[in-house]
Structure 1
Amino acid sequence: MPTNDDFAFRVADARRAGMSRRAVDDSALDRPFNGLRALRVEDENENAGQRHPLDLARDAHVRAARQFTVHMHAHEFFSHSTAALLWNLPLPAPVPDRIDVSVAAPHRAPSGRGVRGRQLSAAQVSIVAHPEGFSITSPASTWAQLGTVVKHPYDLTAIADAVTRTPRIAGPNGRVLRPAYATVAELSVELRRGRRIGVRALEEALRRTRAGSASRPETWTRLTIVDAGLPEPVLDHDVYDDRGRFIGCVDLAYVDLEIAIEYEGDHHRLDTAQWNRDIQKHDDLAALGWRIIRVTKAELFDNPGELIRRVRGALRSRS
C-alpha cells in the first residue's frame, strides 16, 4: 500500500490552493516528473544498509509509479516492467530508470522525463484495477509483455511461476493467503492474443512453469538441476513425522529419497526468528533421516556446477 514516502502533488493544484511559487520550488522537495513535486526520501534510513541494492532500486521504481498516479489520465495504465514490480513479480536486474505508462490505440502514448510511453493494441492487453486503485495490466497480461524485456529464460519462467503460485501458510493448520493471479491455461490464452514479441521464449517459459515455486532463486535452483539431466524435484513439500507432527515445508524435495534442497536467502540470515526456525526444522529433518542440501546465492548464480555435484551425489547415495 502507498506510504507517506509515495506522496506527491501537482504543482498546478498547489498553486491554485495558494502555495507560493517559492514553496513549490523548495529544494527540500523532489521533482519526480514534470509538473509534480514529492516528499524527499532519505536514503540513509535504518534498514538501507541491510538491504540489497536491487531491492532498493525496485522500491524506488514502485515509489515513482505511485507518485505518477497523481496526474495519470483515465486512459493510461501501467504495463511491462512497472506493472511487474507493482504486482511484486520477481523482475531481475537491472531495474528500468523510467516507468512504463501505456495507452490503448488510438490514444497517444505519454511522454516526458522519467516515463517510457507505449501505445498498445487493445486486443492484446487485459487492463484491471490494482488494489491501490490505479489502472494496470493484469499479472497474466504483464508476463506476456516481457518476452524481450526479460532476457534470461529462467527469469521468464520465474515470473510465470510467481503469477501461477498460490501463496499459503504451510502445515496442517495452514491457509491460502490469496488465490493465484492466473493459471497456466490463462497465461496460454494471453499468448494467443495477437502477435507477441518474444513469443518463442514465452512459450518455452510457460512449458517449464510450476506453481509451487516460492521465489526466483527456487525457480533457478529447479531449472539448474533439471538442465543438468537430474530428476525434477517436488516443490513446496510439507514434511510430517510418523506421528503426524508437522516438521516443516521444504523448498524442493526428492520425497521418496528423503532429500531436501533449501535455498538460503538473505532473509534467512537477517531474520533471527526465521534463522532459529530453520535450524530447528533442519535438525528435525535430519533426525527423521532426511539429507539436507542448503543452497546459497553465490553457489546458485556463480558456481552452479557445485550445486549439481552435490545434488547428484545425494541422489547416488540414496538410490
Structure 2
Amino acid sequence: MEQVESLRRPMLFGMTTSLVLQSVPLPDDCPFGTDLLHSVSGSKRKRIRARGVRHHTWSPLRHAHNVCIGTCVGQRAYALDLFHTWAQMSPYLSLPSLVMLGESVITSIARQRELANGRTSEQIHADMRLFLERIPRFTGKCKCARAMALIRPNVDSPQETKTRLMLSSHGLPECVVNYAVPGVSFDSGVAMTLDMAWPDYHVAVEYDGDHHRVDRDQWRRDRSKRGRLNGRDWVVFTATAATLADAAASAEFAFGVARQLTLRGASFPFHVVARSLE
C-alpha cells in the first residue's frame, strides 16, 4: 500500500484487486496481474490518480452494493461488489473464463457469511441472473448473457468448471453439479456427493486436484467413496490436470465418459473435435 500514500479520498477497488480481496480465484487468461492496484469510479472526472494504481471507469457503478474491506492510508476502502466485478471483467475474458469466474463468484459469496447474508448458492445464482437482467447496458453484457446460460451454482473449483465445459464442448449432455447420491453417506453421516453426475445412467466425473493425491486422509476418503459407489453400479471417472493439458487428452477422456453413457442408454451426438461454447 506504500504506492498509494498520496491518496486523499477513499478508494474503491475494482477488477482483479476486488476479486483478490474477496477471495475469488483469477481466471487463467486474465490480462491483469496483481502487481498494480485497480480502482474504479463512475466517470473519468472522478478517477484516482496515484502511483501504482490503474484506474477503470464503470458507468453502472451507482447500482453497485460495494463492500467495505478495511482501511487504506488511514481511510475506509471499498471493493466493487462481486456481481459488478464479474460484469466489469467481461470484455477482457473468453467465454469459458467468464463462466468459470461467474461460478467462482457464486461460490465465494456463499462461503462468506457476511456476503451470503443467509442465501444459498442457488439463491445467489438466481440473484446474479436478476442482476444481469436489471443492470443498464454495458460493454460485454451480451457475453455475460451467454455465460449466464452456462453458469451453475455449487461448483467447488474453477477446474471443475473447466472439466464440465470441456465435456459439453464434445457434445455430452447436461450433468448435475455437486450431486448428492441418495441413500449413500460416509461413516460420519455426511452425504456422498459427485462433482458431475448423470444420475439416470449412474455415470459421474470427479476432478482431483493435487491435494487428493498428497493428502493421505483425502486419498483414503476418495477410495472408500468410489469403492462404495462402484458397488452400487456407479461408474466414476477421475479427471486431473493432465486431463485438461491438451486437446488430445481431453478428447480421449470425453470419449471414455461418452462411451459409458451410451452403453447405459444415453443418446447424443459426440464431437470428436471439441466445438466452441459460442
Q: TM-score, normalised by structure 1?
A: 0.67
In structure 2, which of residues 229, 234, 246 is the aligned counterpart of residue 285 of structure 1?
229
> Larger RCO: Structure 1 or Structure 2 (Cα < 8 Å, ≥ 6 residues apart)?
2
Partner of 1:118: 56
Partner of 1:217: 159
Root-mean-square deviation (CA), in Å?
3.0
Question: Which deviates more, 76-85 or 290-299?
Answer: 76-85
Q: CA deviation at 1:102?
A: 1.6
Structure of greater Rg: 1
How does 1:250-289 map onto structure 2 within 5 Å?
250-289=194-233
The verdict on how the C-alpha distance between 1:147 and 1:241 changes in structure 2, with shifts beyond 3 A counting, is same
In structure 2, which of residues 121, 127, 139 is the aligned counterpart of residue 197 of structure 1?
139
Partner of 2:103: 161
The question of whether the paired residues in 1 share the 8 Å contact of 2:64 and 2:84 is answered with yes
Write the distance in 2 (CA, Å) between the matches of 1:202 and 1:243.
Answer: 37
The question of whether the paired residues in 1 share the 8 Å contact of 2:60 and 2:136 is answered with no
Give per-residue Cα distances to partners, 1:116-164, cap 9 Å, x unaligned: 11233355551422455731111111111111122x2111111222333
Partner of 1:92: 27
* Count of aligned pairs between the two proteins: 246
Give per-residue Cα distances to partners, 1:75-127, cap 9 Å, x unaligned: x2111121122222232135513221122337532233321112333555514
Name the SS of the counterpart of 2:181 in structure 1. Answer: strand
Structure 2: any 5+ residue segments left out of the alignment?
72-76, 112-116, 266-278
Write the distance in 2 (CA, Å) between the matches of 1:312 and 1:72.
Answer: 59
Name the SS of the counterpart of 1:202 in structure 2. Answer: helix
> Where do 4+ consecutive residues of structure 1 move more than 6 Å?
242-245
The question of whether the paired residues in 2 share the 8 Å contact of 1:91 and 1:155 is answered with no
Write the distance in 2 (CA, Å) between the matches of 1:99 and 1:236.
Answer: 35
- Identical-residue share of aligned pairs (%): 26
Higher helix share: 2
Question: Which deviates more, 279-288 or 236-245?
Answer: 236-245
Name the SS of the counterpart of 1:194 in structure 2. Answer: coil
Q: TM-score, normalised by structure 2?
A: 0.76
Structure 1: any 5+ residue segments left out of the alignment?
1-7, 9-31, 37-70, 169-175
Write the distance in 1 (CA, Å) between the matches of 2:191 and 2:132.
Answer: 39
